[in-house]
Structure 1
Amino acid sequence: MRDEQLRPVAYLALGDSLTEGIGAESPDRHFVVRLFRKLRHSDDCRFRNWGVSGMTSAELLHFVENPAILRMLPKMTHISLTTGGCDFIRLYEAGTLTLRDVVKTAREIQQRLCRILSLIRGANPTVSIYLLGFYLPPPAYELGFQKAAMAVKMMNRMYTRICERYGVTFINPFYRFLNRHEWFCDEVHPNQRGHDEISELFLSGANVQETWEGTREHTAGSTPVPSVNLSG
């Protein structure tokens, strides 16, 4: 095994309620924890979950711009991101889901995501990054499936292009979740079965097998994830 494969994994999970684990039956059964278990190869490996329910792309960008986070990024070997969904949820809750508003929000998400990935890549050119795309939530089937599906596919195509630009692994849940109402615990969040499916997508995207078998060849850095004071 090559030297870089033996370096301890330092995994940072950033994003919204999907990263936080809303809908999973226990904190150790959602995709973030499961992915880490597959990536780790020694007791020196560490991970930090900074998923925050309701976090929008603007709030995630602000979080990543924090000097404490920027100092942490070079030490990471893996980063996962879930973002964008809450931006559309706020539109829906405000009752402004017009085509113009959807397109405007999509462009804003695109700009922010590019900025987020640019900051991460600028701080750490070799870190493995995984970005979760969009699925159709149950209300979309009642409010207009065709338009909703078209919008979600548009967002996933946009995310695909951004991932190609920044060397990011794109995780696309759209077809896996299509017509799977039983995989949700509410209008937007997956239940445990849904989290299991997202876990499988991440594990496939990360190309990892059984626990302790090592990490991807291009992982780098050996410092465990430190605690960060974000107050002030």
Structure 2
Amino acid sequence: MKRYAWPLFLSVSLILTALFGYGFASAYNDVVNPPKRAVLTPTKEEPVAKGGTYVALGDSLTRGVGASNGNSYAAIVGQELTKDNTVERFQNLAVSGARTEDLLKQLEQKEVLRSLSQAKVISVTIGGNDLFNRGEGVANFDAKKTADTIKSAQTNLEKTFKILRDENPDAVIFYVGLYNPFRASENGEAFDAIVQNWNAESRQLGLEYDIEVIDTFNLVRDVKRDLSSDQFHPNDSTYEQIAKASLLAVNKRF
């Protein structure tokens, strides 16, 4: 039995030596020529994405004129989006009395563009001051003049949509359409058709630039019930309804 032990021991030793040599050579090769999987393995964690901002643009409807507490639809939307952590903060850049050309000038400002490029949600209200001209466009209704105004304002609206989408391809953007605060006036019915056409054209632009359009036409049926004491801006209840419709449009995108 002993005479077989030495050859067996010698054979095992040779095998172990060969395995050790192979292992050493493989380890050395991994150091000198590391495999691709080691090179491609990330060494740092991915940065945590920021919550982003909800930026509101537009006119007095975004500022909240007519609301007893100053809370426009945008302020209500901003409160809800920050509460559920959809965004971190709310920034209201609206200017009361602004028309479409005023908004375009605002969009030339570097700081405004920077805010928009970093936004997670963007909203716009514009066009009412172009169309109604503080009631003068209704009281002194001129079909041709109104048609020219609409054509110019719609061109400006399209430019606005394009700028917003170019600055931020990923943000959820929504536009709050128009209602008719002068339904009870002499030319109220004519403006019903004009406002509905405006909203329809806006929806077409929205489809082109991936922008949600909130139709507020049916939210203002009774001036005394649905508008504030100035009979032009929404009251608290109507602002809340606009905010509710806006939140539905925003939340379906997240």
Q: TM-score, normalization: structure 2?
A: 0.74
Query: Which structure has the bigger radius of gyration?
Result: 2
Equivalent residues in 2 for 1:69-148, closer than 5 Å: 69-90=112-133, 92-93=135-136, 96-137=140-181, 139-148=182-191
Report what 1:224 is aligned to. Answer: none
Task: State the distance in 2 between where 1:111 and 1:163 align.
Answer: 13
Percent identity of the aligned residues? Answer: 26
The alpha-carbon deviation at position 195 of structure 1 amounts to: 1.2
Structure 2 SS opposite 1:26: coil
Structure 1 SS opposite 2:124: strand
The alpha-carbon deviation at position 56 of structure 1 amounts to: 0.6
Report what 2:29 is aligned to. Answer: none
1:10-39 CA-partner distances (Å, limit 9, x unpaired) = 011000000000011113x32112111222
Task: State the distance in 2 between where 1:56 and 1:98 align.
Answer: 19
Q: Is the 8 A contact 1:183 1:191 kept in 2?
A: yes
In the alignment, structure 2 segments of 5+ residues that lack a partner are 1-45
**In terms of mean alpha carbon deviation, does 36-45 or 82-91 score higher?**
36-45
Give 2:246's match in structure 1, choosing from 202, 215, 218: 202
1:161-202 CA-partner distances (Å, limit 9, x unpaired) = 111111001100111222353121122111112211211221
The alpha-carbon deviation at position 6 of structure 1 amounts to: 6.6
Structure number with the bigger relative contact order (C-alpha 8 A, sep ≥ 6) is 1
Task: State the distance in 2 between where 1:90 and 1:203 align.
Answer: 29
Give 1:30's match in structure 2, choosing from 72, 93, 113: 72
Structure 1 SS opposite 2:184: helix
The alpha-carbon deviation at position 44 of structure 1 amounts to: 7.3
In the alignment, structure 1 segments of 5+ residues that lack a partner are 209-215, 218-232
Q: CA RMSD in A?
A: 2.4
Task: State the distance in 2 between where 1:135 and 1:123 align.
Answer: 28
Task: State the distance in 1 between where 2:159 and 2:221 align.
Answer: 30
Task: State the distance in 2 between where 1:60 and 1:197 align.
Answer: 25
Q: Which has the higher helix share?
A: 2
1:106-131 CA-partner distances (Å, limit 9, x unpaired) = 11111111111111111111111110
Report what 2:209 is aligned to. Answer: 166
Report what 1:17 is aligned to. Answer: 60
Task: State the distance in 1 between where 2:85 and 2:245 align.
Answer: 23
- The one-letter amino acid of 1:161's match is Q
Number of aligned residues: 206
- The one-letter amino acid of 1:193's match is S
Q: Is the 8 A contact 2:57 2:123 kept in 1?
A: yes
Task: State the distance in 1 between where 2:115 and 2:206 align.
Answer: 22
The alpha-carbon deviation at position 47 of structure 1 amounts to: 1.3
Task: State the distance in 2 between where 1:75 and 1:6 align.
Answer: 12
Task: State the distance in 2 between where 1:84 and 1:44 align.
Answer: 27
